[in-house]
Chain A
Amino acid sequence: MKGKRAISNWIVLLVALHAIVILGGFFAPYDPAEQDRKSPYLPPMRIHFVDAEGHFHERPFVYSLQLGEGSYDKYEENTARPLALRFFVQGARYRLLGFVPARLHLFGTGSERIYLLGSDSYGRDQLSRFLYGGQVSLFAGLLGAGITLLLGLCVGAIAGYYGGWRDDLLMRLAELFLALPWLYLLFALRAFLPLSVSPLQAFLLIIAVLGAVGWARPARLVRGVVLSAKERDFVRAARGFGATSGYLLRRHILPEASSVLMTQAAILVPQFVLAEMTLSFLGLGVPEPVPSWGNLLSSLQQYSVLVSYWWMYLPALVMVPYFLGYLGLGSRLQQHEEPYKIGK
C-alpha cells in the first residue's frame, strides 16, 4: 500500500506539471520572444517577504537587479527599489490552449520586468520560455509516442495474427529499424533539407522521425501478445460463433495488448521528450525564436554560459520528476490491468 501511495504522488506531480505547461500562457508573466537587451543573463530574482530593514511585508516582493560596481556581469540586488508582486494582472496577450484570447497572468509587476528564473542572452524571461518551451517538447513527445504506438500496434497485429510471410517480412523490417543508428540517420535527413526550415516544419520533421524510428519495439511486443492471445479459448470460442478476423482483433485480441501499450507509452513519452531535447540542443529541432526545452539548453554549448550562468541548466532538471512521474504511471497502469485476469 505504501508503494502505491508513493506512485500516486508522482502521478499528481505529473498531472500538475502538464497542467502548468498547458496553461503556460497564464503562468508565464511574459511573451517568450519578448526581449530586454539591457538585461542579459540576469540571475533568478529572489522572492522576499522581509525587506533590508527587517520589516515584514504581507505582499511578496523582489528587488530589481543592477550591475555590481566594477563588474560587467555580476548583478546585485538594489534594495532601494523593491518590486511588489501582483497577482492576476493584465499583461501580454496570449492564446490560452492555443485558441482562447486572454491577457490575464498569474503574477507580474506593474512596471519593471521580473525574472524569477533569470534571463537569457537577449534578456528574455527564462520562466516564460520554459513554460512555452514545455508545450512544444511535451506535445512532440506525446504525438511522437502516439504515432509510434499506432504504427507498432498495426504492424504487431498484422504480424502476429496473420503470421506466415507477413510476419517474417515485418519482423525483419523491425530488426532493421532497431539496428539503425537513428541519430546519424537524422543528420543525413537534415542535410537533404534546406538549411533553415520553419518552426512548424521542423516540429513535424521531429515527430515524423521519432514516430518512424521507434515503432519496432512496441510492434514486437504487440506481436508476442497477439500470438498468444489468438490461441486463447475465448478467441476460439468467438470464432466458433462466426466472428470475422476484424472483430476478433478489435474485441478480443487487441484489448489484451492494451496493458503492454500503456506501459510502452509510459516509457516512450518521456524518451521522446528527451529525444526532442537532444535534437533541439544540437540545433536539429525547433529553431529560435520558438522555445523548446531542448533549445533553451543549447546556449550551454558556449563555455562561458556553461561555467557562469547556472540558472540556464534549470530546464534540464525538470526531466527528473517528469521521468519519475511517467515510470510511476507505467507501473500503476500495470497494476490496474492485472485484477482482470481470472485467478485459478
Chain B
Amino acid sequence: MNTAGRDKGMQPLLEVENLVKTYSRRRLAGSGEGVRALDGVSFSIFRGTTLAIVGESGSGKSTLAFCLACLEKPTSGAIRFEDKDIVTLSEKDLRAIRRQMQLIFQDPASSFNPRWGVGEILIEPLALQGNLGRDEMRTRAHALLEQVGLSSSMEAKLASELSGGQRQRLAIARALMLEPKVLILDEALSALDCSVQAQIANLLVDLQSSCGMTYLFITHDLAMAAHLADEIAVMSKGRIVEHGAPNKILNQPQSVITRELLAAVPRLGFAGTRVAES
C-alpha cells in the first residue's frame, strides 16, 4: 500500500472536523431528545490512502458514511473536500460533489433497482451526467466490467441473477463509472464469504495502485481493516476513541472497545480468552 501522505506535508483530500449528526424524534408535544449518532468526529484522509473506520454496530459508522457521501446533512461540523466545505453547499452544488465521492452499500442487491438490467444499472451514473453518447457509455461499462473481473456478457442479466460477490463487483464497477476521487465502502465486504472477501479486497488494492484511489473503509472486522488500511480509526458511540497505524492498534490497543474488537477476530489454532470474561 502507498505510504500515508501525511509524511509528505500534503493537503488532505478529505478533512472532517468535529462532525455532529443528531436525529430528532418527532413527538406530539415539544421536541424530544434526539439520538446523537455522530458526536464530534474529526479525521483526515490523504490522496491515494485508505482509512479504515472500525466499530461495533450502532457506533455511527453508517451515519458517517452517509454524511460524507452528502446523502445526509450533518447537524454541525465541517467536511472539507479539496479545501471546500461541503456542509454549507446548496443542493445544486452538492450534486456535482457527490459524483466525486461514491458510496458502496453494505447490501449491494438493495442498491440496484430490481427492475433494471446490469447494463442499465452500470450506465445510469454516466447517463445522469448526460455528456456521453450511448455507445461511449457502453464501451466504458464493458471496460469496467472487465476491470472488476466480470464478463461483459453479463450486461443483459438482471442484478438478481448475479451471485453476492458478482453483485459487489458490479457495485464497485458502477461507482467507478464516474471516476470518483474517494470510494466510501460501508461494510462492503461484510456480507460476503471469506474467499470472495479476499478477492474483492485484492481488487480494491489493485485499483488503488493503478488509479490512485482513496478509500474510506468502514467495517467491524479489525483484521480486514488492518490488512487494507494505512490508518485505522476506532469508533464507539459516535466518537473516535482511537486513531493510528494498524500495527499500533493491533499491538498496543488503548481503549476497551479496541480490545473487544481484537478479541472478536477469529484466529486459526488460537484459543484466545475473551476480554469480556477476563
Contacts and interface: CB of A to CB of B under 8 A. Distances in A.
A33 to B, nearest CB: 49
B119 to A, nearest CB: 15
A238 B103 CA distance: 10
Interface stretch (A49-57, A239-247, A300-308): A239-247
B98 A234 contact: no
A240 B69 contact: yes
Given A233-B110, A236-B71, A241 B105 contact: no
A284 B3 CA distance: 82
B95 A234 contact: no
A242 B96 contact: yes
Interface string B93-117: 0011011011101010111111100
A343 B160 contact: yes
Interface residues on B, range: 20 to 34
Contact of B107 (A233, A238, A244): A233
Given A239-B71, A240-B71, A240-B98, A342 B128 contact: no
Contacts of A237: 103, 105, 111-112, 174
Nearest to A344: B109
B207 interface: no
B159 A244 contact: no
B99 A241 contact: yes
A237 B110 CA distance: 10
Contacts of A234: 110-114
A259 B114 CA distance: 14
B140 to A, nearest CB: 14
Nearest to B160: A342
A241 B128 contact: yes
A242 B99 contact: yes
Contacts of A165: none
Nearest to A232: B110
B98 A241 contact: yes
B205 to A, nearest CB: 23
B178 interface: yes
A238 B95 CA distance: 11
A237 B107 CA distance: 12
Contacts of B105: 233, 236-237
A340 B98 contact: no
Nearest to B95: A242
B110 A238 contact: no
A58 to B, nearest CB: 56
Interface residues on A, range: 20 to 34
A236 B171 CA distance: 13
A342 B71 CA distance: 24
B212 interface: no
Nearest to A245: B91
B103 A240 contact: yes
A238 B98 CA distance: 10
Contacts of B278: none
Contacts of A283: none
Contacts of B253: none
A47 B214 CA distance: 85
B128 A340 contact: no
B71 A241 contact: no
B23 to A, nearest CB: 13
B111 A239 contact: no
Nearest to B102: A240
Contact of B129 (A242, A342, A344): A242
Contacts of B69: 240
B95 A244 contact: yes
B83 interface: no
Interface string B135-169: 00000000000000000000000011000000000
Contacts of B40: none
A110 interface: no
A252 B113 contact: yes
Contacts of B71: 236, 239-240
B124 A340 contact: no
Interface string B232-249: 000000000000000000
B125 interface: yes
B128 A238 contact: yes
Given A241-B98, A241-B99, 18 more contacts: A233-B105, A233-B107, A234-B111, A234-B113, A234-B114, A236-B105, A237-B105, A240-B69, A240-B101, A241-B124, A241-B128, A242-B95, A243-B128, A252-B113, A255-B113, A340-B114, A342-B160, A344-B109
16 contacts: A234-B110, A234-B112, A236-B66, A236-B111, A237-B111, A237-B174, A238-B128, A240-B71, A241-B99, A242-B99, A242-B125, A243-B95, A252-B113, A342-B109, A342-B114, A343-B160
Interface of A: 232-234, 236-244, 247, 251-252, 255, 340-344
Interface of B: 66, 69-71, 95-96, 98-99, 101-103, 105, 107, 109-115, 124-125, 128-129, 159-160, 174, 178
- A-B CB proximity, top 5 nearest: A241-B125, A233-B111, A233-B110, A342-B160, A242-B95
